[in-house]
């Protein structure tokens, strides 16, 4: 069984994206273990990453991908939030 609409948020300074990615990976691993204990599974195929900030910070600083299990998830300029599409412009 899959758990839908699970969302994780991490706040960081633009210069600390690698630390934020590490923190997010640790959190994803913890959530995955908790879900597995409840016979749930994270659907990494439907997972999305969106980096939000000013135009300058998002365009200048790297937006690294995050690996969940065997799937690498690249960042995007749009993400789904409870059925709504969030677009960065």
According to the model, what pLDDT value does residue 44 have?
74
Specify which residues 86 forms β-bridges with: 79
5 located within any domain: no
Percent of the chain with pLDDT over 70: 84
Q: Are 28 and 68 in contact (CB under 8 A)?
A: yes
Element (H, E) at 2: none
In a domain, residue 63? The reply is yes
> Is residue 78 pLDDT above 60, yes or no?
yes
The residue ranking higher by pLDDT, 29 or 8, is 29
Helix or strand (DSSP H, E) at 56: helix 55-60
9 found inside a domain: no
What domain count does the chain have?
1
64 part of a folded domain = yes
pTM above 0.85, yes or no: no
Asked if residue 1 is part of any domain, the answer here is no
Answer whether residue 68 is part of any domain. yes
Hunting for tokens 């995955």 — which residue is that?
A: 32
Q: Which domain holds residue 63?
A: 14-87
Task: Say if 8 falls within a structural domain.
Answer: no
Q: Which of 20-29, 48-57, 75-84 has the highest mean pLDDT?
A: 20-29
Higher local confidence (pLDDT), 60 or 43: 43
Between CA 37 and CA 32 the distance in angstroms is 9
Distance CA 58, CA 32 (A): 28
């Amino acid at each position: 069984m899959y758990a839908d609409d699970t969302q994780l948020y991490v706040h960081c300074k633009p210069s600390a994206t690698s630390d934020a990615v590490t923190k997010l990976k640790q959190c994803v691993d913890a959530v995955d273990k908790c879900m597995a204990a409840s016979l749930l599974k994270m659907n990494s195929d439907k997972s999305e990453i969106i980096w939000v900030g000013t135009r300058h910070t998002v365009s200048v600083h790297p937006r690294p991908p995050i690996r969940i299990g065997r799937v690498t998830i690249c960042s995007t300029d749009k993400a789904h939030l409870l059925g709504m599409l969030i677009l960065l412009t």
